[in-house]
């Protein structure tokens, strides 16, 4: 089921092929997304309604739901589901609230004081995928840090269901977050709407949220076309599992399938030091796959996935760092020494009893993470992503006397006389 490769025999071209994912060599995705962006920029709400009919199969007369409609939908879910969402909300809040720390001021030399203060990004847009799986957990993962940061306006976009509404779980999360409006817009058109603004959808300063290749491409393009920023390239989901002979093949197979069922373009990679374990996982994958409601989706994802046989855990970590997975699971008894060797990963799950699912939903860490190798340079979403940190400085007379001559010399050597004069008029 998973094509197996030996790490020791891989050539440079093999690495290039195995590490690549979600590519667009023909630029077909980019071309389509640019057309959608242009249409939304020019035609606003009319374009959004057209795409809702085309992609979501629903005719909308209004592109949003308000507080009373959200409350009505939220009331349709059971108390057990409400309680689960409340626990997830509380854990996510508890983990993220520690991230908004006040930094101390520093006196870089006598009389020269510098410090930073956080300020919330005023208007943020949260994209909540709909598609083949509706994700209320993503709304919590984005909404909670936005609330902690103090963002003044939180715009939420999610594709409409067939009845032109949202499901009760997303509605209940909106209530937990005290958000009283949601926009019924999905895909690349939602990203464009938040970047440019339409008659209904407000323009925002920064766009957050995962999505398919079209959503990811729209975010990347619009960051260049406008002055709207994005959280990160967060596209189709992926997991890499490192497992040795101490791993349970049933656990490993379950973890691979948990990622594969996200979508046909997801990837689930097994990296093991034990060939027998790989064989056992292959067998178990078939057994577990047959029982899944989303088996067809998961099977397509597995067809684009593979296993790597390594001589030892050092090789396994080396490959993982090259792949830079969104999710890394380390299923070994002796995992502690491996942690310091992990340099590229979005979020790491260690030990045999830590499935990636807990991070997806309720442990408290954020599940909006960099994909497609971007974990080499991006972090996952945190409160930091929803704030700007502004630097301040203040000089006393002593401070100006201490630092002034240095600035005069540096300005002069760069040929910037006005810079020098700004100091000199104060000193002399």
CB-CB contact of 265 with 371 (8 Å): no
The annotation status of 53 as a binding-site residue, yes or no, is: no
- 65 closest CA partner among 169, 185, 153, 145: 185
CB-CB contact of 209 with 238 (8 Å): no
The annotation status of 360 as a binding-site residue, yes or no, is: yes
Instruction: Render the burial of 124-153: b for 16+ CB within 10 Å, e for the rest.
Output: bbbbbbbbeebbbbbbbbbbbbbbbbebee
Catalytic residue list contains 428: no
The annotation status of 272 as a binding-site residue, yes or no, is: no
The annotation status of 419 as a binding-site residue, yes or no, is: yes
The annotation status of 45 as a binding-site residue, yes or no, is: no
Residue 373 falls in which region: left (phi positive, over 0), alpha (psi -120 to 50) or beta: left
According to DSSP H, which parts of 111-269 are helical? 136-149, 168-176, 187-196, 213-225, 249-260
The annotation status of 323 as a binding-site residue, yes or no, is: no
The annotation status of 163 as a binding-site residue, yes or no, is: no
- 160 closest CA partner among 269, 283, 48: 48
Catalytic, out of 96, 299, 327, 367: 327
Catalytic residue list contains 326: yes
The annotation status of 265 as a binding-site residue, yes or no, is: no
Rg (CA), the chain: 25
* CA 48 from centre of chain: 24
Do the bridges between strand 206-208 and strand 229-230 make them parallel or antiparallel, or are there none, so unpaired? parallel
CA triple 42-44-49, angle to 5 deg: 125
The annotation status of 99 as a binding-site residue, yes or no, is: no
Q: Which two tokens stand for residue 47?
A: 């374009």
Catalytic, out of 326, 331, 356, 408: 326
- 141 closest CA partner among 122, 123, 156: 156
The annotation status of 352 as a binding-site residue, yes or no, is: no
* CA 213 from centre of chain: 13
Catalytic amino acids? Answer: 326-327
Which residues participate in the annotated binding site?
127, 189, 212, 237, 259, 262, 327, 360, 414, 419
Binding residues for substrate: 237, 259, 262, 327, 360, 414, 419
| Feature table: binding site for Zn(2+) | 259, 262, 360, 419
């Amino acid at each position: 089921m998973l094509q197996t490769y030996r790490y020791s025999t891989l050539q440079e071209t093999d690495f290039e092929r195995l590490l690549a994912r979600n590519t667009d060599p023909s630029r077909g995705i980019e071309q389509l997304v640019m057309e959608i962006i242009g249409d939304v920029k020019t035609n606003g709400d009319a374009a959004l309604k057209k795409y809702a009919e085309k992609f979501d199969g629903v005719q909308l007369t209004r592109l949003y739901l308000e507080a009373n409609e959200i409350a009505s939908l939220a009331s349709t879910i059971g108390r057990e589901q409400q309680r689960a969402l409340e626990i997830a909300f509380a854990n996510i809040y508890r983990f993220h609230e520690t991230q908004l720390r006040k930094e101390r001021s520093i006196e870089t030399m006598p009389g020269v004081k510098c410090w930073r203060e956080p300020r919330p990004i005023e208007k943020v847009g949260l994209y909540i995928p709909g598609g083949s799986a509706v994700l209320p957990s993503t709304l919590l993962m984005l909404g909670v840090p936005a609330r902690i940061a103090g963002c003044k306006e939180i715009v939420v976009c999610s594709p409409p269901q067939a009845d032109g509404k949202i499901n009760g779980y997303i509605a209940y999360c909106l209530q937990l977050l005290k958000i009283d409006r949601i926009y019924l817009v999905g895909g690349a058109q939602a990203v464009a709407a938040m970047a440019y603004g339409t008659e209904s959808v407000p323009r925002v300063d920064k766009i957050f949220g995962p999505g398919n290749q079209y959503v990811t491409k729209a975010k990347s393009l619009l960051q260049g076309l406008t002055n709207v920023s994005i959280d990160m390239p967060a596209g189709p989901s992926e997991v890499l599992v490192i497992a040795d002979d101490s791993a349970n093949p049933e656990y490993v197979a379950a973890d691979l399938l948990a990622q594969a069922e996200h979508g046909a373009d997801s990837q689930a990679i097994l990296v093991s030091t034990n060939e027998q374990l790989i064989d056992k996982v292959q067998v178990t994958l078939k057994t577990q796959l047959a029982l899944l409601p989303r088996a067809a989706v998961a099977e397509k994802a597995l067809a684009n996935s593979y296993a790597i046989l390594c001589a030892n855990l050092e090789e396994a970590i080396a490959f993982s760092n090259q792949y830079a997975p969104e999710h890394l699971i380390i299923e070994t008894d002796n995992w502690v020494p491996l942690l310091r060797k992990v340099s590229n990963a979005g979020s790491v799950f260690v030990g045999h009893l830590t499935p990636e699912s807990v991070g997806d939903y309720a442990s408290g860490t954020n599940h909006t993470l960099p994909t497609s190798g971007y974990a080499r340079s991006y972090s996952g979403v945190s409160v930091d992503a929803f704030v700007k940190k502004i630097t301040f400085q203040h000089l006393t007379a002593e401070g100006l006397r201490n630092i002034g001559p240095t600035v005069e010399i540096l300005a002069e050597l760069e040929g910037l006389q006005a810079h020098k004069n700004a100091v000199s008029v104060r000193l002399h």
